[in-house]
Structure 1
Amino acid sequence: MKTELYYFTGTGNGLHIAKSVKESLVQRNEAVELIPINTLNLSQSLHSSANRIGIIYPTYAMTAPAIVKRFAEKLRVSSKSYVFTYAHCGGGGAGGATSSIVDILSDNDIIVTNTFQTRFPSNSTLFKYTDEKLESILSKSEVSVKENVRAIVDMVENIRPKSNSLNRASRKMSGIFSSALENHLQFKVIEANDNCNGCSVCSKVCPMENIEMNGKPQFKSNCEMCFACINNCPQKSLGFKKMNRKDFKPYRHPNVNVKELMYR
C-alpha cells in the first residue's frame, strides 16, 4: 500500500504531523512519501494513484493558504483512494480551512474520506506565549496528533458533506474581513533591521521563493504569511511593518529542525 502526504508548512507543525503519520505507517512496512506542496508544478493537473492521500496544511486568517487551494484544484485521484485533510491552527478552530479544501476537492469529484484538526502554537508574531503556555499547547497537540494518526493509519471514514450556500457565503465574508485585517496590520510588508547579517536562512526557508538576497533580504510579492522567515531568523532581525518586536519569541516545532524547512 502506498501513501502520499502533501504538506505546506512555515514553522514545522505540518511537517511534524506528516512525519508522525509516516513513522506509524513505516512500522507497518508501508511505503510513504512526504511531498512539500510548494515544490510542485501547479500549472498543470497532478495525478495520484496512491491508496492513501493526505493534505496537511495550516490555517491562515480563517482559511487555507492560497497555494494549498491551488493544489486542491489541480489534484486528481483514484475513486478508490482514501483521501484525508488535516488542518491545524493556532486558535479559533480550523473549520474554515477544512471546508475550503473539502469543497474544492468535491468540485473535482474527490470524496474526502475524513478530516482532522489539531491546535498548535500559532505562527503569528501577534501571540506572545510564555514557556508554560507553549509547553501546554504542545503537550495537548501531541495527544491530538497521536489520536488522529491512529485513525489515518486505520483509514477510519467520516465523510464530510460539501458546504451549503450559507456556509460558503459566510466563508467569503470571513475572507473579506481577513483581507482587511491583513492590510491593516501589513503582514506582507516584512523588513529586516540592523541586526541582519545576510546569512540567507530566511531565503532558504521561504516556501514561496519570495526572498532574494542582496546583502540583506529583498521581499517580492508572493508571500503566503507563513512567517517562516521571521520565526527562523537566527538574528531575530525580521518582522512585519507594524509588528511589536519587544519580547518576541520565535517558534518552530521542537521536532523539526531548520534544515528540514530549507528548500534551497
Structure 2
Amino acid sequence: MIKHVWAVYFSPSGKTEQVTMAVAEGAAGLLKIGEIHAYDFTLPDKREHPFCFGEEDLVILGCPTYAGRIPNKIMPFIRDSICGHGASAAIVMTYGGRNIDHSVMETYLLLQENGFKVYGAGSAVTRHVMSDILSAGRPGTEDLKAAGQFGADVVHKIMTQPENYNDLSLPGSNPVGPYYKPLEADGTPANFLKAKPKVHNEICTRCKICAEVCPMGSISRENVEEVPGVCIKCHACVRKCPTGARFFDDPSLISHIRMLEENFAGQPKDNNWYL
C-alpha cells in the first residue's frame, strides 16, 4: 500500500519542477495523502549520496531532455544513486518543443534496472531554456491540469492493475539511441560544447545568484565572471539573474537557437502520457 508520494526532480529552470509537482499532486489527491515529499537534486550537494525508496513509496521522477536524452552529466546520478527497492514510479520527461527522442525510454530502462515498478511515463512540453519564443508559456494551466490527471491515472492503474508495471510502450529505442547532434541555422553541425555564459558588468550587481543556482557548481562565487567548471547550457544562470546580466554570445550556440526557432517555434507540440 502506498503511503508516501515523492516528487523527485532535476529542474534548473524550474519548469520540470512545475510539471513533476502537478503529477505528484494528482497522485496524492486520489490517494488522499496530504503531504508530498519533494527531493530536488538540481544542485551538486543534493547528488552526493544515494537516495533510495521502498514498497510504500510512489516516486514521480522528473527531468528535462537535453539533446534527446537525459542530460549526460545527470544520468550517472539517476543510474547509480536513485534506487527503488520495489517502489512504484512514474516518469516525467520535459522538452522544449524539438523532440523527446530517447529520453523517456532511457529513464524507463534505468528505473527498471534500479528496482522500480514503473506504471506510467510522460513527455511534457515546457518553454525551451534557450529561447523566449520556443514553447513560450508552457506549461500552461491546461498542461498542468493534464499532468495532474496523469498522476491520478497512474494511481488508478496501481490500484486496479497492480501487476501491470514495466509494461509500457514508449517512444525511443532500446538499446537507447545516440544524443541528438545540434545544427546551426544553415544545417551544418553546431559545436558549442565549450560555450560558457558571459556577464554584462554594467548591470551585474554581484548578487551571486548565478553561482548559487548553477547545477554543476561551475560559476565562481568569488568572481562570477569566471566559469572554471563545465557548462551544460541549462541557462539557469541566465533565467534566474534578477538584472538580466547573464548571457551567451557563442556564435554556434546562437545559430543553433535560431535554427530551433525557425524550424519548431511554429509547430506547438502536445504532451504525451503513457500508461
The interval holding the TM-score normalised by the smaller chain is 0.7 to 0.9
Amino acid of the residue matched to residue 154 of structure 1? H
Give the one of 112, 118, 123 matched to 2:124. 118
Question: Secondary structure at the residue paired with 1:94?
Answer: coil
**For the Cα contact (< 8 Å) 1:22–1:32, is it kept in 2?**
yes
Partner of 2:40: 36
**For the Cα contact (< 8 Å) 2:6–2:24, is it kept in 1?**
no
Give the one of 88, 101, 121 matched to 2:107. 101
Amino acid of the residue matched to residue 222 of structure 2? N
* Post-superposition offset of 1:112: 2.2
**For the Cα contact (< 8 Å) 1:120–1:141, is it kept in 2?**
no
Amino acid of the residue matched to residue 129 of structure 2? N
Give the one of 48, 51, 63 matched to 2:53. 48
TM-score by length of 2: 0.71
Alignment coverage as a number of residue pairs: 237
Give the one of 71, 75, 78 matched to 2:82. 75
Normalized per residue, the structure richer in helix is 1
Structure 2, unpaired ranges of 5+: 159-163, 255-275
1:162 & 1:198 partners in 2: Cα distance?
45
Q: Decide whether aligned partners of structure 1 residues 217 and 102 sit closer, same or farther in structure 2, where only a CA change above 3 A counts.
A: same
Structure 1, unpaired ranges of 5+: 245-264
Kindly provide the CA deviation profile for residues 32-80 of structure 1, in whole angstroms up to 9, marking residues without a partner as x.
210012356656543212420121011111111234422321222122x
* Post-superposition offset of 1:134: 2.8
Question: Secondary structure at the residue paired with 2:226?
Answer: strand
**For the Cα contact (< 8 Å) 2:60–2:92, is it kept in 1?**
yes
Give the one of 3, 9, 16 matched to 1:7. 9
**For the Cα contact (< 8 Å) 1:10–1:123, is it kept in 2?**
no
Give the one of 182, 187, 192 matched to 1:185. 192
Kindly provide the CA deviation profile for residues 102-124 of structure 1, in whole angstroms up to 9, marking residues without a partner as x.
22233335442211121111111
1:234 & 1:32 partners in 2: Cα distance?
29
Partner of 1:233: 241
**For the Cα contact (< 8 Å) 1:82–1:155, is it kept in 2?**
no
TM-score by length of 1: 0.74
Partner of 1:218: 226
Q: Decide whether aligned partners of structure 1 residues 46 and 10 sit closer, same or farther in structure 2, where only a CA change above 3 A counts.
A: closer
2:197 & 2:51 partners in 1: Cα distance?
32
Give the one of 133, 140, 157 matched to 1:129. 133
1:67 & 1:134 partners in 2: Cα distance?
26
Considering only aligned residues, what root-mean-square deviation do their CA atoms show, in Å?
Answer: 3.5
User: Superposed, which structure 2 residues align to 1:12-27 within 5 Å?
Assistant: 12-24=14-26, 27=29
**For the Cα contact (< 8 Å) 1:5–1:56, is it kept in 2?**
yes
User: Superposed, which structure 2 residues align to 1:61-72 within 5 Å?
Assistant: 61-72=67-78
Q: Which moved more, 1:65-74 or 1:233-242?
A: 65-74
Q: Which moved more, 1:3-12 or 1:207-216?
A: 207-216
**For the Cα contact (< 8 Å) 1:6–1:56, is it kept in 2?**
yes
1:190 & 1:123 partners in 2: Cα distance?
13
1:187 & 1:129 partners in 2: Cα distance?
25
